[in-house]
Amino acid sequence: MIKKNLFCAINLILLLVNNTYTQQLHHLQEHELIERQYIDITHAQKFTTIQVQDFQGRVKPIGTLSLELVRKIHGKNGFTYIDKNKTKKQLTPTQIFIGMNFKPDSWQLLELIKIEKKAIHELKEIIQINTSGYTSASQFFDFQGNYKLESLVSSAYAKAPGKRSIFDKDIIKIDERINVLWGILNGQFLKIFPKKDDPSLKWYTPIEKEPSFNEGDLLFYSKITPTYFANLSIGIKTGNWTKANETVELIKNFQKKNGETIILEETKVKLEIWFNNNPIFLWCLIGYTCLGVLLILLSFIKVFKQKNNTLKKTISLTILLLFIIFLLQGSGIILRWYISGHAPWSNGYEASIFIAWIGMFSGFLFYKKSSFAPAAASILAICLIGIAHGSLMNPEITNLVPVLKSYWLLIHVAIITGSYGFLAMGSLLALISLLLMSINTFSFSNQEETTNTIKKLTNINQLTSTIGLYMLTIGTFLGGIWANESWGRYWGWDPKETWALISIIIYSFVLHIRIIIPKNYIYFYNLCSLFALGSLIMTFFGVNYYLSGLHSYAKGDPFPIPYWIYIITPLTCIISIIPLTKKAGYDFS
């Protein structure tokens, strides 16, 4: 990594210092750097449909690759700038990607690279960072060709992952962004040329030294990129993008002829581009937030105003709207399944989205018993989709790792992750029950109706937890069968296996509270059910992101714990303690 960075530094500095023309670019303003390589949006949309092979071997539209790379470097889905008329404008990821390949000298100077907030204070003495927390690639190299972060990067990589400080991790992220940016500027990501009948199914970039194409294809390969760049220049100067558009079609025809083995269907390309431009799960998050919060408020009001028909109709309408959002989320999962070509629960992002959907399913399963069921499910969905979209997980669609290329992914993982939805929904119902018990300590509450509601929610909790426990147990046994097929043993005390067993034991204990503690069991059941959620959090997030094992998504490189956890946890403890006061000392049994 360090040698690669040094190599990049030397090459980049040669461009920035030794090239007199490039030196002159330093005096241009931001909008002038963009205008000299501005790509027409209509042409960019055509270029988006060209297919490209990523470094993992997945073939996808360039629009997808551009979005992923810009997110990686810039942290956003586009680049915003102020034009010469002082108007705010935004470049799409594909416009950025084409511009980087066409005029890399401009993008070496544009402030595109994101710097983590906590790293700004320590890095501002080394590099110039703007007020928004961004800097340019040129800032990372001095006039002698030295990489300014070399010692910091070396120090960070020298430490074991578990011993790296937040600053070390930030430095590694910044270093990765510089490498990705350099790869784009150098044409390393433009793998758009398939070789006919190639057994390795490898696609080539325009900078390959000795691609073994046949004579006709080699001529096309060697001429098409310079021709395309020349046509881009014509488009920028004249505003006529016809020749550039024709070149895009030539490249697409070349791909159809040579890459027919793995090239995507036109329908799949269009759907993937649409999926990229329309954040279905983000829409669902907004819908669940608005409707879920409203429903839970209405459900609490209903406890004290039972005969209000308008309230009941409002609750029914809210549940109907929530169900529409639920169907939208389901369609998004199916669409992602079609695009990826495999079951969409193969990584942390996909699993979080799927668990949220199953949680909503469990809520609608019992909505007739109480409106609190879909309300609690929507809160679960808000948390999970919020975590998935909060820059903590990578939404990128990737090829499956070899061990996941099995029909067991569809069976075992679906059952296991589905169980989390049912069990987590039960724990949230327990929280609502404890909150109602706390409300019952005050004289203004309708204690009889509140008590009946608590008993209903406890019954729903027991049903959802029972379903979830059955699914978790069955899924764990099926996982043992898959483990024997993949690794030659049924059980190996891997962290994931161990914590799945711990969760089974904990929820088995919770569901037997009635027998173990018959006196006032409803309170103790809800209390234990609530805190049993901790075992699920550890089984899913803790093992996958904080422990290193065969099932880990991040191999011990965890994302930071959300700050709201530190607020919710003590509040939950307070709500759990209030029902133990003298005023709430009635028997729920």
Of 230-244, 317-331, 357-371, 561-575, the least confident: 561-575
Residue 14 confidence (pLDDT)? 44
Of 107-111, 225-229, 424-428, 559-563, the least confident: 559-563
pLDDT at 431 over 50: yes
Q: Where are the domains of the chain?
A: 2-194, 343-584
At 251-307, the pLDDT tens digits run 999 999 998 889 999 999 999 999 999 999 999 999 999 999 999 999 998 887 766
Is the dihedral angle over the CA atoms 119, 121, 124, 129 positive or is it negative?
A: positive
**145 three-class SS:** coil
Contacts 24+ apart (CB under 8 A), 223-232: 224/250, 224/251, 224/254, 229/102, 232/39, 232/98, 232/102
Residue 200 confidence (pLDDT)? 86
- The encoded tokens of residue 372 equal 């609190």
The secondary structure element, H or E, covering residue 372 is: helix 372-388
Residue with tokens 């006709």, as numbered in its chain: 216
Residue 409 confidence (pLDDT)? 84
Query: In this structure, how many other beta carbons lie within 10 angstroms of the beta carbon of residue 579?
Result: 25
Interval 166-171 mean pLDDT: 89
Residue 101 contacts by C-beta under 8 Å, 6 or more apart in sequence?
184, 185, 187, 190
At 374-387, the pLDDT tens digits run 999 999 999 999 98
Query: In this structure, how many other beta carbons lie within 10 angstroms of the beta carbon of residue 175?
Result: 23
Residue 496 confidence (pLDDT)? 82
Of 333-347, 452-466, 538-552, the least confident: 538-552
Q: Is 89 exposed, middle or buried (0-12, 13-18, 19+ CB in 10 A)?
A: middle
- In one-letter notation, the amino acid at residue 414 is A
* Residue whose C-alpha is closest to residue 418's, from 536, 339, 320: 536
- Give the distance from CA 42 to its chain's centroid: 28
The bridge status of strand 59-61 relative to strand 79-82 is unpaired
pLDDT at 555 over 70: no
Dihedral in degrees, nearest 10, Cα atoms 278, 280, 284, 290: 10
Residue 306 contacts by C-beta under 8 Å, 6 or more apart in sequence?
449
Residue 559 confidence (pLDDT)? 57
pLDDT at 85 over 90: no
Quote the CA–CA distance of 357 and 326 in Å, as a whole number.
Answer: 7
**142 three-class SS:** coil
Quote the CA–CA distance of 532 and 472 in Å, as a whole number.
Answer: 14
Residue 328 to residues 285, 441, 508, Cα–Cα distance (Å): 11, 41, 34
Quote the CA–CA distance of 46 and 236 in Å, as a whole number.
Answer: 16
Residue 2 confidence (pLDDT)? 42
Residue 346 confidence (pLDDT)? 83
* Residue whose C-alpha is closest to residue 384's, from 373, 393, 375: 393
Residue 353 confidence (pLDDT)? 94
At 495-517, the pLDDT tens digits run 888 888 999 999 999 999 888 88
pLDDT at 122 over 50: yes
Confidence of residue 236 (pLDDT cuts 50, 70, 90): very high
How does the average pLDDT of the chain come out, rounded? Answer: 86
At 204-216, the pLDDT tens digits run 999 887 678 888 8
